Amino acid sequence: MLRRRINLLFGGDEKRVDSRTIYVGHRPCPATEAFIPPKFCDNRIVSSKYTIWNFLPKNLFEQFRRIANFYFLIIFLVQVIVDTPTSPVTSGLPLFFVITVTAIKQGYEDWLRHKADYEVNKYPVIVLEDGRSIRKESEKIKVGDIVEVVEDETFPCDLILLQSTRDDDTCFVTTASLDGESNHKTHYTVPDTEKDLQSLNATIECEQPQPDLYKFVGRMHIYKTDQEPAVRSLGPENLLLKGATLKNTKKIYGVAVYTGMETKMALNYQGKSQKRSAVEKSINAFLLVYLCILISKAVVCTTLKYVWQSQDGQDEPWYNEKTQKEKDTYVYLKMFTDFLSFMVLFNFIIPVSMYVTVEMQKFLGSFFITWDKDFFDPEIQEGALVNTSDLNEELGQVEYVFTDKTGTLTQNNMEYIECCIDGFQYRNSDSMSELDGFCVTDGPVSKLQQKAGRDKEELFLRALCLCHTVQVKEAGPDEIDSDQVDGLVSELSQPDEQRGFIASSPDEVALVKGAMKHGFTFLGLENKSMKIRNRENNVELYDLLHVLNFDPVRRRMSVIVRSKSGETLLFCKGADSSIFPRVRQEEVDRIRMHVERNATEGYRTLCVAYKQLSPEEFAVADAGLRDARLALQDREEKLMAVYNQVETSMSLIGATAVEDRLQEEAAETMEALQGAGMKVWVLTGDKMETAKSTCYACRLFQRGTELLELTVRTLEDGGRKREERLHELLLDYHKKAVQDAPPVKAGVTRSWSTANQEYGFIIDGATLSLVMNPSPDTNSSRYKSLFLQICQNCTAVLCCRMAPLQKAQIVKMVKNSKGSPITLSIGDGANDVSMILEAHVGIGIKGKEGRQAVRNSDYAIPKLKHLKKLLLAHGHLYYVRIAHLVQYFFYKNLCFILPQFLYQFFCGYSQQPLYDAAYLTMYNICFTSMPILAFSLLEQHIAIEYLLDNATLYREIAKNAMLKWGPFLYWTVLGIFQGLLFFFGVKYLFSNPALQDNGQVFGNWSYGTIVFTVLVFTVTLKLALDTRHWTWINHFVIWGSLAFYVFFSFFWGGIIWPFLKQQRLYFVFANMLSSVSAWLVIILLILLSLLPDILLMVFRKPRGPHARQIAAVTPLSYKHLNERY
Distance in angstroms (rounded) separating the CA atoms of residues 908 and 578: 87
Q: Which parts of 310-351 fold into alpha helices (H)?
A: 324-328, 331-346
Tally helices (H) and strands (E) across the chain.
36, 35
Cβ-based neighbours of 785, under 8 Å, separated by 6 or more: none
Q: Which parts of 991-1067 fold into alpha helices (H)?
A: 1004-1026, 1032-1054
Distance in angstroms (rounded) separating the CA atoms of residues 530 and 522: 8
Provide the Cα torsion 1079, 1080, 1086, 1090; round to 10°.
Answer: 160
Can you give the length of the chain in residues?
1125
Measure the CA angle with vertex 771, ends 767 and 773; round to 5°.
105
Give the closest residue to 942 by CA, choosing from 774, 1108, 1118, 702.
1108
Helix 278-309 vs helix 331-346: crossing angle, to nearest 10 = 140
User: Strand, helix or coil at 411?
Assistant: strand
The answer to whether residues 254 and 149 touch, using CB atoms and an 8 Å cutoff, is yes
Distance in angstroms (rounded) separating the CA atoms of residues 910 and 480: 87
Cβ-based neighbours of 946, under 8 Å, separated by 6 or more: 953, 1106, 1109
Task: Give the count of beta carbons closer than 10 Å to the beta carbon of residue 153.
Answer: 15
The b-or-e profile of 238-272 (16+ CB within 10 A means b, else e) is bbbbbbbbbbbbebbbbbbbbbbbbbbbbebeeee
Distance in angstroms (rounded) separating the CA atoms of residues 128 and 507: 40
DSSP symbols for 640-665 = HHHHHHHS-SBEEEEEEEEEEEEPTT
Cβ-based neighbours of 528, under 8 Å, separated by 6 or more: 168, 543, 544
Looking at residue 349, what DSSP letter applies? G
The phi-psi region of residue 823 (left if phi > 0; otherwise alpha if psi is between -120 and 50; otherwise beta) is beta
Distance in angstroms (rounded) separating the CA atoms of residues 43 and 144: 12
Distance in angstroms (rounded) separating the CA atoms of residues 718 and 725: 7
Distance in angstroms (rounded) separating the CA atoms of residues 499 and 936: 56
Find residue 895's DSSP bridge partners.
Answer: none
Provide the Cα torsion 954, 956, 962, 966; round to 10°.
Answer: 160
User: Strand, helix or coil at 613?
Assistant: strand
Pairing label, strands 796-800, 438-439: unpaired
Looking at residue 261, what DSSP letter applies? G
Distance in angstroms (rounded) separating the CA atoms of residues 1015 and 896: 7
Cβ-based neighbours of 300, under 8 Å, separated by 6 or more: none
User: Is 404 annotated as catalytic?
Assistant: yes
Looking at residue 924, what DSSP letter applies? I
Helix 876-903 vs helix 278-309: crossing angle, to nearest 10 = 0
Catalytic residue of the set 158, 404, 660, 832 = 404
Distance in angstroms (rounded) separating the CA atoms of residues 1117 and 940: 9
What positions carry a catalytic annotation?
A: 404
